[in-house]
Amino acid sequence: MSEDDIKPIDMDMAPEPEKKDDVIDDDLPEIDHDKVMYGASVSRIKKGEEVDLSEMDPTLVHALIGMGWDLKNFENLPVDLDSSVFLLDKDDRTRENEDFIFYNNHEDRIGSVIHDGDSRTGAGEGDDETVNIQLTKLTFDVVKIVFVISIHDEEMLGHSFNDVKNVYFRFVNTDSTHELFRFELEGEELNMGEAQAMIVAEMERVGPKWMFRALAEPVEGGLSEIATNYGIIVAEIVQA
């Protein structure tokens, strides 16, 4: 596909992705979110840590990525954090628009990654946003999966990551409902100055294995900046 064939993405008003006749997206198991919320014991990883997912759980096929957060001050307007996923090739670039999975595009072209929808407030217990990944369905030219959280409309509402607490990212084997680990973000990791987005973590395909890295890298310019860096043409640069 040439650059001339790529249509710009309007990150505020993007249409639902077009369904392809040859796409079968019923391979993902039916998920009981109550069963995958919290295990009896929780393994925590820290910024900079790397995990061999294949070694940690050789049975891993279907993964659930859960993200949650709480407001520091409930008297303020709710902070809308968004979770996004980028599927990248060997050059750290998306292959097509559908490789950018976010609140206005809930799945990739073949349904290997499915976003369960946007939470605007972070209210309530448990995961505020979830993403489901079928590892065996990912094509081999997908070498890396990048996970991002960003603040929506931060410029208009004046929000920053300092307005939230108890931010976490957790990784679950959906089939066994076992939570493999969680990455909790607090303190200095949320004190990001002008940054409106964070690359939370990445998964990289290394031969037959998948390696997970906890990053917590702040990015000024928000979600649109990250999307542009990965080869997505954004129709209108917005702070997200």
The bridge status of strand 178-185 relative to strand 44-45 is parallel
Residue 192 · residue 224 · CB < 8 Å = no
Q: Which of 49, 61, 38 has its CA nearest to residue 170? A: 38
| Percent of the chain whose predicted confidence (pLDDT) is above 70 | 72
* Strand, coil or helix: 197: strand
Task: List, in order, residues 6 or more apart from 38 with CB less than 8 Å away.
Answer: 126, 179
Residue 198 · residue 67 · CB < 8 Å = no
For tokens 């037959």, the residue is: 208
Residue 15 · residue 105 · CB < 8 Å = no
Q: Which of 159, 190, 209, 225 has its CA nearest to residue 51? A: 209
| Tally of residues, the chain | 240
Please report the pLDDT score of residue 12 as a whole number. Answer: 62
The low-confidence residues of the chain, meaning pLDDT below 70, are: 1-8, 10-41, 73-78, 118-125, 153-158, 236-240
pLDDT in tens, 134-160: 999 999 999 999 999 998 764 545 677
pLDDT in tens, 22-31: 433 445 545 4
Spatial separation of the C-alpha atoms in residues 120 and 103, rounded to whole Å: 11
